[in-house]
Structure 1
Amino acid sequence: MKKINILFGFILGINLLFCSCTDDLNQLPITETTSKDVYAKAANYKSVLAKIYASYILAGQGQGGDNGDLTTINGQDYSRGYFNLQEAGTDEVANTWLSGNNLVDLTYMNWSSKDSWASDSYYWLFFNITLCNEFIRHCADSELTKFSPAEQNEIHAFKAEARFMRAFSYWMVLDLYRQGPKVDETTPATGFIPEAYDGIELFDFIEKELKELVIEGGANSLPDTNEYGRASKPTAWALLARLYLNSSVYRGKVDTKYYTECITACHKIISNPTFYLEPDYAKLFNADNHKRTHEILFALVCDATTSVTWGGGTYLVCGSCGNSSSQNPEKYGLTNGWGMFRARGEITSKFGDLSTTLDSRAMFYTDGQEQYFTGAIDNQSEGYFFEKFTNLTDEGVAASNSAATGCSTDYPMIRLADVYLMAAEALLRGGAGISRTEALELVNKVRMRAYKNDEKGKITDGELTLDFILDERGRELYLESIRRTDLIRFDKFTTDSYIWQWKGGVLDGRAVNAKYNIYPIPATDLTANPNLTNSLY
């Protein structure tokens, strides 16, 4: 079992309820135990912080989301919805269970403000933000005087983590929706309709929060290191880099670019000797991936003993394995596969000929499968199955009974290889702080790991282009819920500059309306909060 003291500890029996049709997204969660009771003891603060982390991967207090925290349309945890929003419409994932999993519109890039996954993810994010705000509110100095100095110091450290998780949620609000209610720990808890953040205001708020959390020696900053699965300064620097790299998208101003700032943030991690690339790429995605703290900067932690989820690693591992192909589920530490999704031919083609490629990241099941589609996208015999994520330990043993308790594979959200590629891309986009030679070296470190140190993996200076970076990010980071963000930054998600099969709902692919670069605020919340608008929809 994973030794993570905080993440899935006793949660005080708090059964949080949250109504999606509310006129106030900053309501206090209704609990069987009141906030006054919960925050009466210093020891309880750690349990509430555990709830904040767990709420991104668990849908409720019971196994697989039983005794749910939030009433949603799909009844799934946030991580599963986030994966669908980031991957379903891209060149990576072809979904099988379209209508049964409410994925028709996402797959064909034709959604509306009533889309179930866009709605569920939106309310999960603000549920999580609400948890963070309530926690931070109870970390006020005036409320901590009843505790010892040592306890106060510990709670202040927890507060920094809650602030990071709030910034992390708001970054996803910015990335997915470009707007959202303006709520923090000072917002009235009831009887208040929040103003709306636009993209620039969200960017500025997230940047301010993260910069305060990485101040060296700052009283409110994150620790330099932390338990696996918890936030630290490197985690915040990595999120800052991601924010800066997408600045022109988020701020909507072509003259406001933060590429030098992105490189500065990346360098804070690259120069830290604690971090290095895991030599074996596959071990970043198995049931022992919690041991890869030298590369995985932040992950959503899954454990089939303490935190059974049908999202996170379970969704990735079980969903990638076919249930009507010749695959043997035991090869991946599974009892059975779900056959949820397959790879579109465009992403697998980026590895060249799969029968001869030396790239170890080309992890696809091809037996009996066609690479490209000749007909419907839900035909399980067309499109290769993914083999990237498994439920196997380093010793090759199944970590859990996946049919009963899900998988024990964590869901990496930010990795060192991503930081290397972000720094190189920021240099190519005009940023300063590293040389072109250094950028090439960073990319080739990623490539050499992929090619198991074979020199054939290296690229030359002339090959280091923005188009190459986008393809390399596809090869390195597929299934890691970043593809939509990348394609939008390169202006290829909705446009005709890059077409893949079934893009826009037709076999040969087509461009779609640019409004699909942004997901809509749920129709129910527009009614509740007139400060929010879906101008594109």
Structure 2
Amino acid sequence: MKNTTMKRLGYKISFGLLMAVGISSCTLDEWNPSTVDVETGYKYRDGYESLVNYCYDGLYYFYGKIDGIGAMEMGTDLWANVANAETGFTLYNSNMNAQLGTLATIWNGMYATVNYCNTAIYYADQVEGFGSEEERNAKVAEAYFLRGWANWHLVEQFGGVSLTTVPSTETGPVNSPVRSSEQAFYDLIISDLIFATEHLPNRSEGERGRVTKKAAYAMLAKAYLQRTRLGDVQENARLALEAAEELITNGSAYGVSLYQSDDEQSGFGKLWSGANNKNNTEFLFIEAVDHTEGRNPEGWNRGRTRQYYLADTRTTGAPWGTQENETWTGRSNSRNFKPTKYLLTELFEPVSDPADTRFKETFFYEYYNAKWEDVTISQSMVNQYGKNPDLVGHVIKNTAAGDVTLVQGNTSTWRMGVENMVDDNDDGWLDGLSVFTPNWVMSAAEKRDLPFWIVDPSDWYQADGRWVQPESNSMATYTREVYPSLKKFSSWEYVMDRQYWLGDIPIIRLGEVYLIAAEAALLYNNDVNKAQQYVNQVRKRAAVTSRQSEMEVGAGEVTLDFILAERGRELAGEQIRWYDLKRMGKLTTDYLQATNPDIRFFDANKHTVRPVPQSFMDAIANPQEFGQNPNY
């Protein structure tokens, strides 16, 4: 959202409500209803619009932050655990329990969003100052949308828990909550999202981040498709297809379109280009980040997602010239999540020059010397890394440059890959390359003779597909810490420093809508030709124009399993995968063992939902009646 909107996120809108969740005012120059009762406060348009702004607050704690990654992306076929953080999500071990702090964050955050939205919906009819009923409905439709979004996360993460529609300002503390069915959740979710499609504007009026019809139709399609797991598959699929095709067919009305490839760059590459980040034609629902003045929840502390996927450029790669303080690849001390063998070598084709650009656009796999000085290969490096002795004395050129002023205008920093990006010795490789982590296996001769450190799948994975285990005096101690790093949320223009990234984060984007349409077409009436059409549109824009024909697949190849794989290639790291596996019946021991054998403790009798946080169970008067989720 533009700056005035972000300022309003700081307004006090109800003393009792906001003090309960620890939010305070940062500016009071327009109107402050904190000293009046709720009914009076929300009676006026300024106060009411401030309340609606608060409905967006929860986005900022689940996207671009660690709290959303574990619950939405981990414990799937795509990622393994590196360190010990979030092992409950990645391994389904004993850390997945009712005391897990991240679960309480998700629970409290989503219910806070629901309560803000309930409040906005409840008081909408009393608000004065709107020019028409249509104008009023357009504003309250934002709350309907965000309540649907939050309830969708609640029911998918926790199952049939408490469904609320009346704000706490009216009910007071609910000491004895009751559960609702998952179907009841979806009835309300769908109803809310339909209201949003009917009343939100086609386009925003200059406030980046405001939800519009494109977000509503995308979320409606997503909700209908996810609901197929509960039954009535054909009808829910039909409705998902209808909502998805509204966007695909009428994209010009909503200002949306897939980026198209040219001879030099794929459309998928353009999608993630920083030049397109703040006005992206594929982003349908976003966490909008203020990159100029930092008027965000937690200020500049945004875009932290990237650091948890980073390889070790701080220590393990350092002898070759990589550097933690280099801002583009970010702070690398977390090293929590790394790609599975299934993701790198089965979903992505493990060859050096595939037509599909999505591996190279999704991952950093070329790390350059960023030490501010050249690095000379020493005898000890040759000995330790098994390199050709003739490489002693070879110079890896520095590629870092400083005093690069970023778009927010108040930070100068430095990064790799700016200087000496040349091949003066004509060996086919850039002279500043330090560490190379391809998803294809290179020959022993190449790994020995080339003047940089090469770590590939043969170094990362054991025969059983698990990540190699560190052993004393073994190179596995080092090779397991250097791997392709997720770079979708690292476009250079919005890197603030080695930790923070200030780009907008897509929550739903158009490429996913095409894949929703393809999946729905199969589930509704097995329309393989329509599914093929939508899948090929996504696949073709992942290649430059001269190679697009290589990306096309035949109708007979487009199965549900193929679409799941395609979603992995397209959406890896975008906090979607756990929901995909749940919807498509892949949260099973057999599937996870086949695709991510590092997961050892998955139990289908409990792990398809999360435990209800113990803090909630301890606070209510009827914990036995409400009940913990099964087998927790």
Alpha-carbon distance in 1 for matches of 2:284, 2:631: 35
Q: 2:54 aligns with which of 51, 55, 78?
A: 51
In 1, Cα distance between equivalents of 2:36 and 2:496: 33
Report the TM-score when normalising by structure 2.
0.69
Distance 2:478 2:303 in 1: 20
Matches within 5 A, 1:136-155: 136-140=121-125, 143-144=126-127, 147-150=128-131, 154-155=135-136
Q: 1:493 aligns with which of 580, 587, 592?
A: 587
Show the 5 A alignment for 1:205-354.
205-215=188-198, 221-226=199-204, 227-249=207-229, 251=230, 253=231, 258-274=236-252, 275-279=256-260, 280-285=267-272, 287-304=274-291, 305-307=294-296, 314-323=303-312, 324=314, 325-326=316-317, 327=322, 333=328, 336-338=331-333, 339-349=335-345, 350-354=347-351
Asked if structure 2 preserves the Cα contact closer than 8 Å seen for 1:333 and 1:398, the reply is no
SS where residue 607 of structure 2 aligns?
Answer: helix
The aligned residue for residue 617 of structure 2 is: 526
Contact 2:193/2:216 (<8 A) preserved: yes
CA 1:53 to 1:214, structure 2 compared with 1: closer, same or farther past 3 Å?
A: same
Q: Deviations over 1:235-267 (max 9, x none)?
A: 122112112212232x3x477751111111111
* Alpha-carbon separation, structure 1, partners of 2:615 and 2:218: 34
With over 3 angstroms needed to count, the CA separation of the structure-2 counterparts of 1:12 and 1:397, relative to structure 1, is closer
Distance in 1, Cα, partners of 2:157 & 2:219? 15
> If you compute each CA radius of gyration, which structure gives the higher value, 1 or 2?
2
After superposition, the C-alpha distances for 1:98-119 in whole angstroms (9 at most, x for unaligned) are 2xx4x12211113122222222
**Structure 2: distance between partners of 1:18 and 1:77:** 23
Provide the rounded CA distance (Å) in 1 between the counterparts of 2:553 and 2:67.
36
1:46 Cα deviation from its structure 2 partner: 2.7
Which residue of 541, 544, 565 corresponds with 1:452?
Answer: 544
Structure 2 residue 74 is matched with structure 1 residue 88: yes
Distance in 2 separating the partners of 1:332 and 1:78: 17
Is the alpha carbon distance of 1:33 and 1:500 closer, same or farther for their aligned partners in structure 2, counting shifts above 3 Å?
Answer: farther
1:410-449 paired onto structure 2 within 5 Å: 410-431=504-525, 435-449=527-541
Q: Which residue does the alignment assign to 1:121?
A: 106
Q: Output one character per residue of 1:477-528: Cα deviation in whole Å (capped at 9) or x when no partner.
A: 001111111112222222303425765644xxx7633421111211232341
- 1:165-209 Cα offsets, whole Å, 9 max, x none, are 011100111111112212113674214333322111111111122
Specify the code of the residue in structure 1 equivalent to 2:75: G
Check whether the contact 1:333–1:397 (CA below 8 A) recurs between aligned residues: no
Structure 2 partner of 1:385: 484
8 Å contact 1:79–1:311 — kept in the other structure? no
What are the Cα deviations for residues 338-373 of structure 1, in whole angstroms up to 9, with x where unaligned? 434221221112112142322211033442544331
Q: Aligned equivalents of 1:17 and 1:376: distance in 2?
A: 48
Paired amino acid for 1:341: F
- For 1:148, the aligned partner's letter is G
Deviation at 1:410, TM superposition (A): 1.9
CA distance in 2, matches of 1:320, 1:33: 47
Q: Which residue of 84, 87, 97 corresponds with 1:104?
A: 87
Task: Output the CA distance in 1 between the equivalents of 2:75 and 2:326.
Answer: 28
> In structure 1, what is the equivalent of residue 11 of structure 2?
12
1:357 equivalent to 2:449? Answer no
Once the two structures are overlaid, the 10-residue window that deviates more, 169-178 or 229-238, is 229-238
Q: Tell me the matched-pair count.
A: 486
Partners of 1:505 and 1:317 in 2: CA distance: 22
Alignment partners' CA distance in 1, 2:46 and 2:495 = 31
List per-residue Cα deviations over 1:37-82 (Å, max 9, x = no partner). Answer: 7435422333332222133205xxxxxxxxxxxxxxxxx8895322
- Measure how far apart 1:212 and its partner are: 2.7
Contact 2:289/2:503 (CA < 8 Å) preserved in 1?
Answer: yes
Q: Structure 1: how far apart are the matches of 2:215 and 2:477?
A: 40
Q: 1:297 touches 1:414 (CA, 8 Å); kept in 2?
A: yes
Q: CA RMSD in A?
A: 3.3
Report the identity percentage: 23
CA 1:337–1:164 in 2, change beyond 3 Å: closer, same or farther? same
Among candidates 89, 114, 119, match of residue 134 of structure 1:
119
Q: Is the 8 A contact 1:108 1:502 kept in 2?
A: no
Give yes or no for contact 1:421–1:442 (8 Å, CA) kept in 2: yes
In the alignment, what sits opposite 1:465? 559
- Higher mean alpha-carbon deviation, 176-185 vs 310-319, is at 310-319
Q: Secondary structure at the match of 2:503?
A: coil
SS in structure 1 of the partner of residue 80 of structure 2 = strand
Q: 1:129 to 1:340 in 2, by over 3 A?
A: same
Whole-angstrom CA distance in 1 between matches of 2:115 and 2:212:
21
Deviation at 1:441, TM superposition (A): 1.5
Q: Which residue identity is paired with 2:305?
A: L
Give the drift of 1:300: 1.2
Rate the CA distance shift 1:380–1:245 in 2: closer, same or farther, 3 A. farther
User: SS at 2:531's partner residue?
Assistant: helix
* Kept after mapping to 2: 8 A contact 1:225/1:233: yes
What do the CA deviations read for 1:19-44 (whole angstroms, capped 9, x no partner)? 79xxxxxxxxx978864574354223
Structure 2: runs of 5 or more not aligned: 23-32, 261-266, 366-435, 437-453, 462-466
Take 2:113 and 2:236, find their aligned partners in 1: how far apart are those partners?
Answer: 28
Q: Name the counterpart of 1:73.
A: none
Aligned equivalents of 2:20 and 2:607: distance in 1?
A: 28
Q: 1:463 to 1:255 in 2, by over 3 A?
A: closer
1:290–1:6 CA distance, 2 compared to 1 (3 A): farther
Q: TM-score, normalised by structure 1?
A: 0.80
> Aligned match of 2:497 in 385, 401, 404?
401
Distance 1:498 1:386 in 2: 22
Against the structure 1 CA distance between its residues 127 and 447, is the aligned structure 2 distance closer, same or farther, given a 3 Å change threshold? same
Specify whether residues 114 and 489 from structure 1 end up closer, same or farther in structure 2 by C-alpha distance, changes over 3 A only: same
The separation in 2 between residues aligned to 1:293 and 1:365, in whole angstroms, is 22
Alpha-carbon displacement from aligned partner over 1:360-401 (angstroms, at most 9, x marks no partner): 110334425443312269977427332432443xxx545423
| Gap regions ≥5 residues in structure 1 | 21-29, 59-75, 216-220
Q: Aligned letter for 1:364? A: F
- Which residue of structure 2 lines up, in the alignment, with residue 164 of structure 1? 145
Task: Identify the residue that residue 27 of structure 1 maps to in structure 2.
Answer: none
